[in-house]
C-alpha cells in the first residue's frame, strides 16, 4: 500500500506490478546558450560575415520549406514567429544547433499545433523510435533510465576494492549474483525453491511433504507475511497515521490478486487470453517443480477461481479516492470481531517478535478496507469447510510466495513467464542484456548504495541550488493563482497558502548517502553474497520487513526518502507534506543548468508544479499543512471544488485509445496535478522573464521561447506503447496515457491558445475549459 504519488506511471516488471513507465532521452553534453547582442558586437568582421552567411542559409532553408508546404501549413503559419536576419540572429553556436536539431527531429511540422499538439511535438520522435525488441513500451523516460544504468554498470564492474563503502560492495555482490557470473543459479535449478516449499509445510502440487492433518491456516499466513514479506489475502505495513502524521501506526488494506486489476478476473470475455496465459504460466512453474501436468493444471485453476472470488470482494481503485472515507481506526480486538478469519493479536505478536516489540488487544490499527476483510472472513470460512477448500487455500498462499521468487531461479522458470507477459503487455521481454535487468534489480534492492555511486559519478551539485530556486518560483506562481480562484472562500485560501509554504522539498539525494558510515549502517543487517541470488532475495524481503516494523513506536522522520536517488521520477507524500526530486530526473531534457529557462521550466518546472499540485488534488487536499487528514476546507468550497473536478473527470473520460476510454475517476489526481503543474510552471517562467531580454531563438526553429516552453513540456512525454501495454495502463494506472497528459492539460490552459494563436473552438483551444488550480 503506497502512501505517496509518483509523477509518472512506474512499477516493477513483475506479474503483480508490470512495468509501464517510459523515459526521457538525454545527452551527457552540457549545452550552453548565449543571449543578447553583446556577443555579436565582440565578433570580428570575418566571424560576422560567416555568421551572416550561415544565418542566410538557415533563412533560405526555412523559406523554401514554407513555400514547398504552404498549402499544408496555411492554417497555422501565422501562429509561429519566423527566424529573422540582421541583429535578431538565432544562437548559432554548436550547442544551440544540436539542441535545435533534437527538438526539430522529434517534431512533425505538417501537423497543426492547434489541432493536435502531441503529434506536432512528437510524431518525428515516434517515427524514429520504434519499440525495441523485447520491450512493450519505449519513451524518453526509459532512454534516460538506460543512460543512468550505463553509469552504474561502469562502477559496479570495477574491482571491489575501488568502491567507497561496505554498502556499495554489497551492491556489487548482489549485482554479480543477479548476473550469475559463476552459473550458480543455473546449476541449482529448482533446488532453492524445493527447500523453501518444505519450510512452508509443503505444496500438494509437488512432492514436498504437504500433510493436510498438520496444516494450520494461521501458521501459514504468518509464515508468508511475517517471514517472506509476501502480501497474500491482505497487506499490512507500518506507516504515518493519516490523522496524526507525527506517529507511526499499523495499517491494513486489501490485497492478494496476482493479475494487475480485478477486471482481468471479472471481465472474462475481454481477458480470456490473459487468464489462459496465467493458467499456463502457473502450470509450467508447478511442473518445473515436480508436479504432474493434469493435476497441476486442475489445482492451479482452483487457485484462479479463488482469486476470482477475491476480485469480487475487492473495491476498484477508482472508488477508493476519498481518504477520509477509507480511514477506519480500531483496536486489534475490534478487528477480530469484524475479520474473524485470523487471530490478529497472534499474527502481530508473531511479526513484532522480529523487532523485539509487544502488542496486545488494545493495539490500534488503521484499516482501509473493513468491508473487504469482513467478506474475506466469509469466503475463507466457506473454503475451510471442506478438505478440498483447505488444499486450495494452501495452494493459493504457497503460490503467492512461489511466484514472487521464481524470477530468482534458472532460465526455465524465467521463460515460463514469457507467455503471460506477452498476453499482458504485447512483448515477451528478455531481449535486453541481462546486465540491464540486474542494474535495475540492484537499484531496487540497494537503491541508496547505488545512489551514492550515481551522485558521485554524474550529479552536478550546483543543480540542487538552481533547482531550489526553480521550486520556489513555481511555488510562488502557484500561490499567486489562489487570488484568482473565485470558488475559494477567503479562509480556505489563506490556509492553502500556508500549506503551500509548508511543503518541504528534497532535491537530488539524502545527505546520509555521502557518508560511508551512515550508508553502511543502513544496510548493516542485510546479508548479501555474490553466489546466492535466491537467498539474497529471501534476505532482502526479510530486511525490508524488519526496516518497516522497526518504525513502530518511533517518532516520524519527515526527511526520509522513499525513492532511490538515481530514479527518473518524483513524488509527493501527503502525510509528510513533502516533495522529492531525485538526481536521476534532474538531467537533460528535464533539466540542465545551461539550458535556457524555457526548456527547464517546460520540463522540470512542470514536474515540480505537478508534485506541488498533488498537495491540493482530490486526495492531497484532505491533508493539512502538517500532513494530517483534517477537514480544513469550508464545506461550500469543497462542493465547488468537486464541481470543478467533475469537469476534469468528464473531460478525460471522453479520451479513447484502441477503442478503450480513459478512466477519468481513476486518473483524476494525476490529471489535476498535470493541469495545475503546467499552469504554475508557465506563470513562474513568465515572472522570471518579465525583466529579462528575450533569449536568442534556436536555429531553424520558427518558435519563440514561450512556444518552446510548451514544446519542451510535450516532448517529455514522447513515447510508443504496444496495444496490450496501453490496455493494461488504462486498466491499472493512475496516470492518463502520455498523449492525453499533453493534450488534456494544454487544451485547458488559456495562455497556450494565445501563444499559438489557436482559434476559439479548435481542438487545442476549446471554448469550455476545465480549471481546478
What is the set of active-site residues?
611, 674
Whether the upstream peptide bond of residue 78 has omega within 30° of 0, thus cis, is: no
Contact yes or no for 236/251 (Cβ under 8 A): yes
List the grid coordinates of 120: 506536432
Strands (DSSP E) found in 476-554: 504-508
List the grid coordinates of 98: 544540436
- The DSSP element (H or E) to which 571 belongs, if any, is strand 571-573
Inter-CA distances, 289 with 410, 411, 445, Å: 12, 13, 27
Measured distance CA(726)–CA(737) in Å, rounded = 8
Q: Which residues contact 700 (CB under 8 A, 6 or more apart)?
A: 58, 61, 62, 83, 90, 100, 101, 104
- The DSSP element (H or E) to which 98 belongs, if any, is helix 94-106
**In a 3-state reduction of DSSP, which class is residue 760?**
coil
Helices (H), 446-515: 447-458, 462-482, 490-502
* Bridge pairing between strands 244-254 and 234-241: antiparallel
Measured distance CA(738)–CA(725) in Å, rounded = 13
Backbone angles phi, psi at 763, to 5 degrees: -55, -35
Measured distance CA(167)–CA(466) in Å, rounded = 30
Q: Which residues contact 641 (CB under 8 A, 6 or more apart)?
A: 487, 621, 633, 772
Measured distance CA(537)–CA(99) in Å, rounded = 43
Measured distance CA(325)–CA(328) in Å, rounded = 8
* Bridge pairing between strands 137-139 and 328-331: unpaired
Largest CA distance in the chain: 96
Measured distance CA(506)–CA(512) in Å, rounded = 13
Q: Which residues contact 633 (CB under 8 A, 6 or more apart)?
A: 492, 495, 621, 641
Measured distance CA(546)–CA(352) in Å, rounded = 9
* Bridge pairing between strands 244-254 and 328-331: unpaired
Amino acid at each position: 500500500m503506497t502512501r505517496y504519488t509518483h509523477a509518472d506511471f512506474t512499477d516493477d516488471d513483475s506479474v503483480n506490478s508490470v512495468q509501464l513507465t517510459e523515459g526521457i532521452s538525454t545527452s551527457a553534453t552540457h549545452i550552453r546558450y548565449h543571449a543578447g547582442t553583446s556577443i555579436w558586437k565582440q565578433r570580428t568582421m570575418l566571424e560576422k560575415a560567416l555568421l551572416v552567411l550561415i544565418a542566410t542559409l538557415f533563412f533560405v532553408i526555412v523559406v523554401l520549406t514554407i513555400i514547398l508546404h504552404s498549402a499544408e501549413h496555411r492554417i497555422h503559419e501565422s501562429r509561429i514567429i519566423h527566424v529573422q536576419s540582421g541583429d535578431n540572429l538565432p544562437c548559432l553556436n554548436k550547442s544551440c544547433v544540436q539542441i535545435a536539431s533534437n527538438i526539430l527531429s522529434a517534431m512533425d511540422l505538417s501537423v497543426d499545433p492547434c489541432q493536435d499538439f502531441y503529434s506536432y511535438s512528437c510524431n518525428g520522435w515516434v517515427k524514429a523510435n520504434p519499440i525495441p525488441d523485447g520491450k512493450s513500451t519505449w519513451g524518453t523516460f526509459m532512454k534516460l533510465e538506460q543512460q543512468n544504468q550505463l553509469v552504474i554498470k561502469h562502477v559496479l564492474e570495477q574491482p571491489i576494492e575501488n568502491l567507497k563503502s561496505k554498502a556499495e560492495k554489497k551492491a556489487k555482490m548482489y549485482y554479480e549474483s543477479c548476473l550469475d557470473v559463476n552459473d550458480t543459479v543455473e546449476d541449482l535449478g529448482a533446488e532453492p525453491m524445493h527447500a523453501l516449499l518444505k519450510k512452508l509445510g509443503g505444496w500438494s502440487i509437488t512432492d514436498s511433504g504437504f500433510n493436510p492433518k498438520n496444516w494450520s491456516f494461521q501458521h501459514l499466513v504468518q509464515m508468508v507475511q511475517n517471514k517472506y514479506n509476501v502480501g497474500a489475502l491482505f497487506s499490512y505495513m507500518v506507516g504515518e497515521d493519516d490523522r496524526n502524521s507525527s506517529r507511526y501506526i499499523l495499517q491494513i488494506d486489501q490485497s492478494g490478486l496476482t493479475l494487475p486489476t480485478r477486471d482481468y478476473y471479472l471481465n472474462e470475455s475481454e481477458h480470456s487470453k490473459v487468464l489462459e496465459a496465467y493458467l499456463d504460466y502457473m502450470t509450467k512453474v508447478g511442473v518445473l517443480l515436480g508436479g504432474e501436468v493434469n493435476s497441476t493444471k486442475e489445482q492451479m485453476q482452483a487457485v484462479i477461481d479463488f482469486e476470482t472470488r477475491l476480485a469480487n470482494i475487492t473495491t476498484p481503485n477508482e472508488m477508493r479516492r476519498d481518504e477520509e472515507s477509507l480511514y477506519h481506526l480500531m483496536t486489534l480486538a475490534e478487528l477480530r470481531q469484524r475479520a474473524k478469519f485470523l487471530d490478529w493479536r497472534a499474527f502481530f505478536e508473531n511479526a513484532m517478535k522480529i523487532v523485539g516489540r509487544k502488542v496486545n488487544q488494545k493495539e490500534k490499527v488503521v484499516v482501509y478496507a473493513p468491508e473487504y476483510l469482513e467478506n474475506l472472513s466469509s469466503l475463507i470460512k466457506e473454503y475451510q469447510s471442506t478438505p478440498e477448500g483447505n488444499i486450495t487455500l494452501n495452494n493459493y498462499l504457497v503460490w503467492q510466495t512461489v511466484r514472487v521468487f521464481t524470477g530468482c531461479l534458472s532460465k526455465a522458470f524465467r521463460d515460463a513467464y514469457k507467455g503471460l507477459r506477452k498476453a499482458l503487455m504485447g512483448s515477451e521481454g528478455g531481449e535486453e542484456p541481462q546486465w540491464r535487468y540486474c542494474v535495475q534489480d540492484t537499484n531496487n534492492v540497494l537503491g541508496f548504495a547505488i545512489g551514492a555511486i550515481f551522485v558521485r559519478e554524474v550529479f552536478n551539485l550546483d543543480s540542487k541550488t538552481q533547482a531550489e530556486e526553480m521550486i520556489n518560483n513555481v511555488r510562488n506562481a502557484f500561490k499567486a493563482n489562489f487570488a484568482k480562484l473565485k470558488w475559494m472562500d477567503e479562509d480556505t485560501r489563506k490556509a492553502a497558502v500556508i500549506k503551500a509554504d509548508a511543503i518541504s522539498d528534497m532535491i537530488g539525494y539524502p545527505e546520509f548517502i555521502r557518508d560511508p558510515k551512515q550508508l553502511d549502517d543502513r544496510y548493516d543487517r542485510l546479508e548479501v553474497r555474490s553466489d546466492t541470488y535466491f537467498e539474497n532475495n529471501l534476505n532482502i524481503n526479510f530486511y525490508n520487513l524488519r526496516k518497516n516494523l522497526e518504525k513502530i513506536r518511533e517518532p516520524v522522520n519527515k526527511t526520509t526518502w522513499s525513492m532511490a536517488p538515481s530514479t527518473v521520477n518524483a513524488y509527493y507524500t501527503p502525510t509528510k507534506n513533502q516533495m522529492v526530486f531525485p538526481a536521476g530526473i534532474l538531467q537533460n531534457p528535464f533539466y540542465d543548468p545551461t539550458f535556457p529557462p524555457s526548456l527547464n521550466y517546460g520540463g522540470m518546472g512542470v514536474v515540480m508544479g505537478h508534485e506541488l499540485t498533488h498537495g491540493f488534488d482530490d486526495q492531497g487536499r484532505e491533508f493539512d499543512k502538517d500532513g494530517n487528514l483534517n477537514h480544513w476546507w469550508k464545506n461550500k468550497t469543497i462542493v465547488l471544488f468537486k464541481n470543478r473536478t467533475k469537469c476534469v473527470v468528464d473531460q478525460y473520460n471522453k479520451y479513447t485509445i484502441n477503442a478503450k476510454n480513459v478512466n477519468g475517476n481513476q486518473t483524476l489526481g494525476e490529471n489535476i496535478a498535470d493541469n495545475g503543474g503546467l499552469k504554475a510552471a508557465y506563470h513562474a517562467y513568465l515572472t522570471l522573464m518579465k525583466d529579462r531580454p528575450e533569449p536568442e531563438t534556436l536555429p531553424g526553429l520558427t518558435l519563440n521561447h514561450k512556444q518552446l516552453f510548451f514544446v519542451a513540456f510535450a516532448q517529455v512525454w514522447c513515447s510508443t506503447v504496444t496495444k496490450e501495454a496501453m490496455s493494461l495502463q488504462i486498466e491499472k494506472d493512475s496516470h492518463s496515457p502520455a498523449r492525453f497528459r499533453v493534450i488534456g492539460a494544454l487544451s485547458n490552459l488559456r495562455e497556450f491558445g494565445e501563444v499559438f494563436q489557436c482559434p476559439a473552438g479548435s481542438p487545442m483551444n476549446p471554448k469550455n475549459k476545465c480549471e481546478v488550480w
